[in-house]
Amino acid sequence: MDDLIADFVSECRDMLESLGGEIVAWEAAPQDRSRLDCIFRFVHTVKGNCGFFDFPRLEALSHAAEDALADVRAGRRQPDPMLVSAVLAVIDRIGEMVEIIAAGSPIPEGHDDDLIEALKPGAEQPPAAAPVASAASAVPQAQAAPRTIRLSVDLLDRMMSGVSDLVLARNELARRLRDSSTDVTVDSAFERMSGIIAEMRDAITRTRMQRIESLFVGLPRMVRDLSAELGRQVLIDIDGGDVELDREMIEMIRDPLTHIVRNAVDHGIEAPAERLKAGKREIGLLSVSARQSGNQILIDIVDDGRGIDGKRLVDKAISAGILDRGEAARLSPKEQLHLIFEAGLSTAAAVTSISGRGVGMDVVRSNVERIGGVVEVDSTPGQGTRMTLRVPLTLTIIPALTVSIGNQHFAIPRVAIEEIVRASGDSVQLSEVGGAGIVTIRGRRVPQLVLADLLGLDSPLPGHERTLIVLKPAGGDVYALSVDRVHDHEELVVKPAAPAVMATGLYAGTTLADDGSPILLFDPAGLARVGGVRFEAQERSVRLLDDAASAVVTEDATPVLLFRDCAGSRRAIRLGVVDRIEEVRGCNVSQSAGRVRVQLGDDILPLEGLNCLPDADAKVRLFRLSDGASQIGLAFREVIDLDAIADHIIASDAPGMVEGVTLVAGEPAELVDAHWLFAGAARLSSGGSDRLPVCRLDLKDPWVRNMLRPIVEAAGYRVVAAEGDGEADLAIAWAGSAAAQSARRTLFLSPDAEGAANENHVYRYDRAGLLLALRDAAAGKAR
């Protein structure tokens, strides 16, 4: 949240700085629509962000200014000098509040009724210019938010180009040193210089890059708050946060994404009663995902709401004067949907703090098109809407595998690679069916593309001596790509290739190897498309919603979420216990206190469903389950669909994670027993200290305190001091000491193995014997 607030402050400062001249120009010419639009969009953006960050005073002020300016834009009010002065005073007050936020201090309690009243028609007094409060100056400097600077992308490009030239010069120097005799000191100095250059290159490259998860991190909270305000029930699923984009692009698409998600909750997903009446699930689904496709990054926002009525948009556009009836009659269904991007057009029935002013979608399109992207919309009335932001891949870091055909080198994104096998391997069989190549790998048949044939290159190797790379592009099924040689794994800085190269559909961009030679980066989906591979599988792991009709939830059915667990099994879980879907890195999962746990923000939850601990950089998706009082996590591989089940369940033979088997969407699925999961978590966390068996220890002894006590407490005992009062179940003392009279059993520790003479004596490092004695005492055995 601190990072998001810092971004909010930085954005407001930049907008206020650029708005300074516009405000003065608008004051001189209040009829200037372009300046009015700039000021309006500023207060509109501030208002939207304030609702997310919970700045009610700032939100009320910006909302009032937005109302007044909306009337001016609609022609309902003229911008007289009194209104101009009031708006200028509001913007000054917003600037003061932003600086208070930047200083790390809460906005002082109070109101801005004087400024809000001055915005209303007929106001006679100019607004007062009193400051918000003097509290901001009292904040210690140490609490101030960290300051940041913004650099020109052109400057970063020049720095990156310079470092690339430096790398090429280093490589040339390395070749010359290898060809000549040098002493050890020169070699060591060169190695040091090479390391510094590599670090510099990596730092400058990553300066421009940022994970797209910074866009997604605030969406669950925003959707939750909007749902509560609107009386909706929305389950949000986020995927693809590890995709990297230019920082400039992320800033440019932050507002568009926010607008689209807010519209999906407000306009798209219906109220629970309306959804049930339409035969839908009570809980709406919203999926936000990012993935790389060719030379673009695709961000999909999909909801299963009421969809967009193109005819209603046309009627609104005609009434607003955007279209005449002749033009409207010639619009195709797709062109009808694109009317939502017209400025001033809204289908909302009333103006609210969330929507209804016809502002937002025009900003979405203009911001995305400014960076060379496009916005696509696809909607079916009654079924839902898909909005897709297509952002060009102008510069990104992609882990890639370099391969070759003859002397020609190419790169393949590592994210699309499933495995690499030798064509001559025992588990591989090559064949042809209808003239198309087929490869069978351990019984799985997949299409085969020969890269040399696809590119028209000469390959010196016969087919059985080549290497097969099994690829699974985003949104597609697997296929095998046959190449001559496989070389290194490395991270490549990718830039757009020439337009003629990109037009082939085969490539995602170009890059330079460390020796300065150019390498083209393949688009795995483009290779399959050009090679004629036909995919049958749908991209279900990315999209929660399928175009096929889903089952109708009736009063006698229970909604469930159908998914595949980490082992690939088809399972279902009752939707009522799913709080939300999370995605974490493997480093947030650990084995601690006797079970697997996951850190989610400030919470540490038990985690079920994993076969083994993931790698630190691996991506782990999980359901956050809740019983109303506590929460646990359940790991899974992918969500399949939302469906419903009746009460016919074939129960399992023994209690466990699986309650039984039932039919979901016509196929068997194991039903997760949420009661068993929470019962297990309760067993581990229950048993207060007053109900635990008591063990007396000499806590003054360092060995007992540091070595023995953790074992005793881990065995389920409450440890008390040897000299304390009250009866204990067990006392542990050194051999030769007197037995504790206030304990039902005394166990003596021998400092050496020979001293363990009988059952009441245990060698101090005999862990098995010690644990056995602890268990016997807890079971109540007599001394």
3-state secondary structure 447-496: EEEEHHHHHCCCCCCCHHHCEEEEECCCCCCCEEEEECEEEEEEEEEEEC
Residue 537, classed as helix, strand or coil, is coil
Helices (H), 665-766: 674-685, 702-703, 709-714
Q: Work out the number of other CB atoms within 10 angstroms of the CB of residue 409.
A: 16
Is the per-residue pLDDT at 739 higher than 80? no
Position 267, amino acid: H
Is the per-residue pLDDT at 578 higher than 80? yes
pTM: 0.38
Banded pLDDT at 136 (limits 50, 70, 90):
very low
pLDDT at position 310: 85
More confident residue, 383 or 47: 383
Beta bridge partners of 333: none
More confident residue, 636 or 122: 636
Return the residue matching tokens 């049930």. Answer: 276
pLDDT at position 287: 92
Tell me how far the alpha carbon of residue 447 is from its chain's centroid: 32
In this prediction, residues 24-53 reach a mean pLDDT of 78
Please tell me what DSSP assigns to residue 755.
G
Report percent pLDDT > 90 for the chain: 3
Tokens read off for 290? 């990012």
Spatial contact of 70 and 47, defined as CB atoms under 8 Å apart:
no
Exposure string of 352-365, with b = 16+ CB inside 10 Å and e = fewer, is eebbbbbbbbbbbb
CB half-sphere exposure, 672, CA atoms < 13 A:
27
Is the per-residue pLDDT at 357 higher than 50? no
Give every CB contact of residue 6 below 8 A, 6+ residues apart in sequence: 145, 146, 148
Between strands 694-697 and 718-721, the pairing is parallel
Is the per-residue pLDDT at 419 higher than 80? yes
pLDDT at position 690: 55
Banded pLDDT at 397 (limits 50, 70, 90):
low
Task: Say which range, 235-244, 391-400, 659-668, has the weakest mean pLDDT.
Answer: 391-400
SS3 helix, strand, coil % of the chain, rounded to 5?
Answer: 40, 25, 35
pLDDT at position 116: 85
Is the per-residue pLDDT at 94 higher than 70? yes
Q: Work out the number of other CB atoms within 10 angstroms of the CB of residue 335.
A: 13
Tokens read off for 376? 């696509």
Banded pLDDT at 295 (limits 50, 70, 90):
low
Spatial contact of 313 and 339, defined as CB atoms under 8 Å apart:
yes
Q: Work out the number of other CB atoms within 10 angstroms of the CB of residue 591.
A: 10
Spatial contact of 416 and 520, defined as CB atoms under 8 Å apart:
no
d(CA 446, CA 708): 59
Is the per-residue pLDDT at 301 higher than 90? yes
pLDDT at position 12: 82
In this prediction, residues 670-683 reach a mean pLDDT of 79
Report percent pLDDT > 70 for the chain: 80
In this prediction, residues 382-411 reach a mean pLDDT of 80
Q: Work out the number of other CB atoms within 10 angstroms of the CB of residue 601.
A: 9
pLDDT at position 553: 39
Banded pLDDT at 286 (limits 50, 70, 90):
very high
Give every CB contact of residue 528 below 8 A, 6+ residues apart in sequence: 447, 449, 471, 473, 476, 479, 535
Mean pLDDT computed over every residue of the chain: 77
pLDDT at position 327: 76
Q: Please give the C-alpha separations between residue 264 and each of 139, 223, 260, 661, in angstroms, as whole numbers.
A: 40, 10, 6, 35
Nearest to 769 by CA among 715, 689, 713: 715
Is the per-residue pLDDT at 475 higher than 50? no
Return the top range by mean pLDDT from 55-64, 176-185, 754-763, 772-781.
55-64
Q: Work out the number of other CB atoms within 10 angstroms of the CB of residue 247.
A: 17
pLDDT at position 644: 79
Residue 604, classed as helix, strand or coil, is strand
In this prediction, residues 464-491 reach a mean pLDDT of 80
pLDDT at position 385: 92
Task: Say which range, 371-375, 534-538, 576-580, has the weakest mean pLDDT.
Answer: 534-538
Task: Say which range, 139-143, 511-515, 721-725, has the weakest mean pLDDT.
Answer: 139-143
In this prediction, residues 559-570 reach a mean pLDDT of 87
Nearest to 454 by CA among 505, 490, 491, 498: 505
Spatial contact of 640 and 570, defined as CB atoms under 8 Å apart:
yes
Q: Work out the number of other CB atoms within 10 angstroms of the CB of residue 32.
A: 15
pLDDT digits (tens, 9 = 90+) for 593-632: 778 888 877 678 889 988 888 888 888 888 888 877 778 9
pLDDT at position 332: 80
